[in-house]
């Protein structure tokens, strides 16, 4: 992937604003001054949560408009059934995404082209 400094800077500003609002809401329930270590720990936890949620959203966004039918590996035809959730465990943790699911072939097998393309 090709990132440029403008995109990274914009994302960093958004994350900083989000983190600031989290910190401010926590200060209302626990007023006081935070140490650098406490701020880093809070930040690391929120970034980890955002990162795994972002992976799931990115995978869901990769799903294109489903075709009504696709070819099955057995030579038959699979028909679109529904958008189906898949759960994966990535290096960032467990997340879910939606992808088109096809079934109804004489071989009794189903398929998700998006999931197949990610393997």
CA distance 98 to 115: 10
Please state the rounded mean pLDDT for residues 8-15.
75
| E strand map for 26-76 | 69-71
Q: Is residue 81 part of a domain?
A: yes
Residue 101 — pLDDT band, cuts 50, 70, 90? very high
9: containing domain:
5-22+35-118
Question: Above 90 in pLDDT, residue 13?
Answer: no
Q: Is residue 102 part of a domain?
A: yes
> Tell me, what's the pLDDT at 66?
93
Q: Is residue 29 part of a domain?
A: no
In angstroms, how far is the first alpha carbon of the chain from the final one?
18
Identify whether the C-beta of residue 81 lies closer than 8 Å to the C-beta of residue 101. yes
In the predicted model, what is the mean pLDDT of the chain?
83
Q: For residue range 20-70, what is the model confidence (pLDDT) as tens digits?
A: 777 777 666 565 667 778 777 777 777 777 778 888 888 999 999 999 999
Q: Is residue 46 part of a domain?
A: yes
Percent of the chain with pLDDT over 70: 88
Q: Is residue 56 part of a domain?
A: yes
Domains in the chain, number = 1
Q: Is residue 70 part of a domain?
A: yes
> Tell me, what's the pLDDT at 49?
75
Identify whether the C-beta of residue 19 lies closer than 8 Å to the C-beta of residue 43. yes
Q: Is residue 28 part of a domain?
A: no
Whole-structure pTM value: 0.63
Q: Is residue 79 part of a domain?
A: yes
């Amino acid at each position: 992937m090709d990132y440029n400094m403008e995109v990274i800077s914009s994302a960093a500003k958004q994350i900083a604003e989000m983190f600031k609002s989290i910190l401010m809401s926590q200060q209302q329930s626990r007023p006081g001054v935070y140490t650098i270590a406490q701020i880093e720990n809070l930040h690391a936890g929120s970034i980890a949560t955002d990162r795994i949620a972002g992976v799931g959203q990115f995978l869901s966004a990769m799903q294109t408009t489903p075709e009504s039918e696709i070819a099955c590996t057995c030579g038959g035809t699979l028909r679109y059934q529904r958008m189906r959730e898949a759960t994966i465990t990535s290096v960032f943790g467990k997340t879910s995404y939606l992808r088109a699911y096809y079934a109804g072939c004489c071989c009794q097998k189903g398929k998700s082209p998006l999931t197949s393309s990610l393997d």
